[in-house]
């Protein structure tokens, strides 16, 4: 089909065109100006327009002398009449998937209101009319989360300006070689893993209500505790290291004068030093809304020389202690409460996977919770591109670039009770958090105070 350029003055609008198009002319003109004339006008042998009246008016508005056209010389007069109506009607029948539309609009730097889209800045109206997945859930609640995305990394950077969670943990938990590689390739790597604060925020928002009580039997650094405080949760964490506990409290003290996202004073996380095998005695509270933790990946990280540290045990003893800790911890979670455990796979002495993820699932199911969701977190590559060649050539072991968040539900099967409990979660809807501050919520916003003066929590 041949495209020809025709002078605008030679084209003839169809006098009985039933389509009113005045409201669309400016948007189409803006599209032609930005992208060029990409869709030709359809005309008949007499240069009368079959489809493209709005494009003709837009071209005239822009002062174009010629426009690309296609002659529909393969259609009968009856077919031309039918096509003229069908072309307009079929466009009306299509509907937008508003969640996917929002994702697309968020990634486009152009002002899409020029082309007829509702400005995304008009958040309150869009929220009431049709809240996007990001407005409701921080990120769409899919089974794969991408920690490499620009939005995720910007959000994480802001959190890490607040949280110095590596404090209190010995450098080199993953081996000194990681730190050496980081120095060689000018990367910031201590060899110490830090839990992702954005993942913490997402899991808390998805699986706990506003004001909910959070239990963490493997507390480690301060991330989960401090994020819990900022999003209005009541956190209880247990860790074997007093040095770590002291560092966590010191980290929180630096932000303690701030408010949470509901404009309430921050409530200090409760960190308890002790062996989680005795969590039933050390933490007296029960009826927790959520268990959120990241356990030791067996011997992947050596946390201390303490014999009570399960990362020093053989795998059989490790699993026995692991199951006991989860049995006592899950017992403290209320009915219809969720358990979120972030884990990765580990290898044995022969280089084979131990099925640690499967063992974790078994341990929590034995404790009385049901395996409910599996979420994959795609992680940053770090030094993997540097290390992977030797690893892969030596044994065909692929580089691990993900973790899993295993979600469990402690439920007796009462779906009505679960539905009523989940209704509480609607109180913590988030309003466009990825586009602006990390802490802009529907019900309130954090404010600047004292040591947080450099952090832009208030976006007004």
pLDDT digits (tens, 9 = 90+) for 222-250: 999 999 999 899 999 999 989 999 999 99
Is the pLDDT at 257 greater than 70, yes or no? yes
Distance CA 304, CA 297 (A): 14
Looking at residue 442, what DSSP letter applies?
Answer: T
More confident residue, 151 or 439: 151
Q: Across the strands, what pairs with 5?
A: 68
Average pLDDT over residues 160-179: 52
In this prediction, residue 262 carries a pLDDT of 78
Query: Is 437 a residue whose pLDDT tops 60?
Result: no
pTM over 0.95: no
Q: Which of residues 377 and 186 earns the better pLDDT score?
A: 377
Rounded Cα–Cα distance for residues 208 and 422 (Å): 9
Over the Cα atoms of the chain, what is R_g? 29
216 sits in the region (left: phi over 0; alpha: psi -120 to 50; else beta) called beta
State which of 84-98, 122-136, 441-455 shows the largest mean pLDDT. Answer: 84-98
pLDDT in tens, 6-21: 999 999 999 988 888 8
**Per-residue confidence (pLDDT) for residue 418, from 0 to 100:** 87
Instruction: Summarize the confidence of residues 49-72 as an average pLDDT.
Output: 95
Q: Could you tell me which residues are beta bridge partners of residue 42?
A: 51, 70
pLDDT of residue 310 exceeding 70 = no
SS3 category, 315? helix
């Amino acid at each position: 089909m041949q495209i020809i350029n025709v002078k605008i003055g030679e084209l003839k609008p169809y006098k009985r065109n039933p389509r009113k198009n005045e409201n669309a002319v400016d948007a189409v003109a803006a599209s032609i100006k930005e992208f060029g004339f990409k869709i030709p006008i359809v005309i008949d042998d007499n240069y009368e327009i079959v489809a493209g009246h709005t494009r003709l008016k837009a071209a005239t508005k822009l002062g174009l002398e010629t426009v690309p056209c296609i002659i529909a010389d393969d259609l009968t007069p009856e077919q031309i009449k039918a096509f003229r109506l069908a072309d307009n009607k079929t466009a009306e029948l299509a509907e937008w998937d508003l969640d996917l539309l929002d994702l697309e609009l968020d990634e486009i730097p152009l002002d899409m209101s020029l082309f007829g889209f509702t400005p995304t800045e008009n958040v309150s109206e869009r929220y009431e009319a049709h809240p996007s997945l990001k407005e409701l859930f921080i990120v769409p609640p899919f089974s794969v989360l991408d920690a490499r995305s620009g939005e995720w990394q910007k959000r994480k950077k802001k959190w890490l300006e607040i949280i110095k969670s590596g404090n209190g943990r010995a450098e080199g938990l993953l081996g000194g070689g990681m730190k050496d590689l980081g120095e060689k390739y000018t990367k910031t790597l201590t060899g110490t893993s830090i839990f992702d604060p954005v993942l913490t925020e997402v899991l808390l928002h998805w699986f706990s209500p506003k004001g909910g009580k959070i239990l963490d039997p493997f507390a480690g650094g301060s991330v989960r505790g401090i994020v819990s405080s900022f999003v209005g949760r009541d956190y209880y964490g247990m860790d074997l290291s007093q040095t770590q506990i002291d560092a966590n409290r010191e980290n929180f003290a630096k932000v303690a004068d701030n408010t949470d996202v509901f404009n309430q004073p921050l409530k200090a996380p409760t960190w308890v030093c002790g062996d989680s095998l005795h969590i039933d005695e050390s933490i007296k509270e029960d009826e927790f809304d959520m268990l959120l933790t990241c356990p030791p990946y067996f011997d992947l990280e050596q946390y201390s020389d303490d014999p009570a540290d399960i990362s020093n045990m053989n795998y059989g003893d490790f699993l026995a202690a692991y199951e006991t800790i989860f049995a006592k911890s899950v017992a403290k979670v209320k009915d219809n409460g969720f358990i979120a455990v972030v884990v990765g796979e580990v290898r044995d002495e022969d280089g084979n996977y131990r099925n640690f993820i499967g063992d974790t699932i078994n341990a929590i199911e034995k404790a009385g919770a049901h395996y409910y969701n599996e979420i994959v977190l795609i992680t940053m590559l770090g030094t993997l591109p540097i290390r992977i060649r030797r690893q892969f050539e030596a044994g065909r072991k692929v580089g691990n670039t993900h973790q899993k968040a295993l979600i469990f539900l402690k439920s007796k099967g009462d779906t009505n009770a679960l539905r009523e409990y989940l209704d509480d979660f609607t109180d913590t809807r988030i309003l466009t958090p990825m586009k602006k501050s990390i802490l802009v919520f529907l019900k309130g916003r954090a404010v600047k105070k004292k040591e947080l003066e450099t952090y832009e929590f208030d976006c007004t």
